[in-house]
A and B are shown apart, each in its own frame.
Chain A
Amino acid sequence: MFDTPLTDLLLAYAGFEYSIFDYCDTMSQRGVWQLKKLVVSYCNWGGSSRGVREFMESKLPAFKESNPQLEVETKHIGGQHPHLEGIYRNKNERTVCVRNMTPEEVLECATKLRNSLGRKVVKLKTRHVTKHPSVQGTWTTALKL
């Protein structure tokens, strides 16, 4: 990760507990928002963009204010269906098509993108991720209490 040292400095200055080992582990967030940029693409003519256009007028300013760390960009694409694109800190991009959705649904989609890490959507191996599985020593057949 070529930008790790700079981000380390920035976040250490910001006062966050932070270690390089933890940053390399993609699962860790540690108080750092993972969504860096949100691109709202819309069309001025198409009917499928109507919800997104209303969302941009009514709900997008409030969303921007509640997430100051997020860079929100609106992009006009003519003649295509609208979509939301989220770019995460681990360079992952997730695109959600929001055609024919109401402004409330578009806000829900945007909130879901903001709430998630950038990790690949794969079936979980375990629901408990730990680096130190045993505190009192792993059980063996030879152990006698």
Chain B
Amino acid sequence: MAHRRVFQTLIRQYSSSSFKTLNPLLQSLPRITQTQHFPQKLNLISPNLTPIQNTHFSITRHFSSNRSDDSDDDDDDDDDDDDDEGESLDEDDVVSGFSGKKEYTAEEKESEANAIGYKVVGPLERSDRVFKDYEPVFAVIQIGSHQFKVSNGDCIYAEKLKFCEVHDKIILNKVLMLGSPTQTLIGRPMLPDATVHAVIEEHALDAKVIIFKKKRRKNYRRTKGHRQELTKIRITDIQGIEKPVTQVVPEKIKKTVKKVEKVAVPA
């Protein structure tokens, strides 16, 4: 047992030192071959080197911790001749971050957000006049698996929306029903052209709920605290339905008519 351990440590040390020394050699080889036009030399050298490295890395690293090992990725990349490609694949596949958070690409974010039912437009600008007065129009919206009947100026507490920050403008595209005092549009199941604009107000935790489990006379008691992460969304605009026109306009017309009459008389 001790002999095997000694053997393994020796191999590990040799492999780590040799890999470091071989690495610059390998990187320089393709350049050399390109300039000197000796592709045959590369083919001769590389099969000799790669099997050595693979045998070294297959013996070592029996740890249980989930580290980003070169060994695991080298075993997968047996077919690759070029070791530079293998290293670049390692960096992309590895889950970075101390807490193991998944890093989303921009496309993944959009597609997941779309699946839940919203789309991030962008941060709220100071020049945006987004907050309007109340309009008598409602919409039935779906966010995730929950549905809300929503109007202009309302606040909704939904489950935490991942890919948006406070003061972001949002478009909610899963609209199931629109309504106004004169008209109702019912979707089957969604309305295609309807959109609801909203602004994220806060990301916060709900009050603590204590989950208490007990089985009587069985000596079993458990207490668990839980705080749900919520997002507060303020609805600013509903589009896709004709909004009723307000009655402020006729008064202004009467005033202008009077002024015209007065001007006409002295002339």
Contacts and interface: CB of A to CB of B under 8 A. Distances in A.
Contact of A115 (B154, B166, B209): B166
Contacts of B82: none
A144 interface: no
A57 interface: no
A69 B158 CA distance: 27
B134 A117 contact: no
Interface in A97-145: 102, 104, 112, 114-117, 121-124, 127-132, 135-136
A45 interface: no
User: Among A17, A104, A122, A135, which residue has the most Cβ atoms of chain B within 10 A?
Assistant: A135
A15 B128 CA distance: 8
Interface string B121-150: 000101101111010111000000000111
Interface residues of A, number: 30
Contact of B207 (A34, A117, A123): A123
Contacts of A123: 206-207, 209
Contacts of B153: 130-132
A31 to B, nearest CB: 6
B98 interface: yes
Given A112-B205, A115-B204, A117-B202, A135 B181 contact: yes
A104 to B, nearest CB: 7
Contact of B134 (A27, A28, A104, A131): A131
B129 to A, nearest CB: 6
A132 B166 CA distance: 25
Contacts of A112: 203-205
Interface of A: 14-17, 27-31, 33-34, 102, 104, 112, 114-117, 121-124, 127-132, 135-136
Interface of B: 98-99, 124, 126-127, 129-132, 134, 136-138, 148-151, 153-158, 165-167, 179-181, 184, 199, 201-207, 209, 230, 232, 234
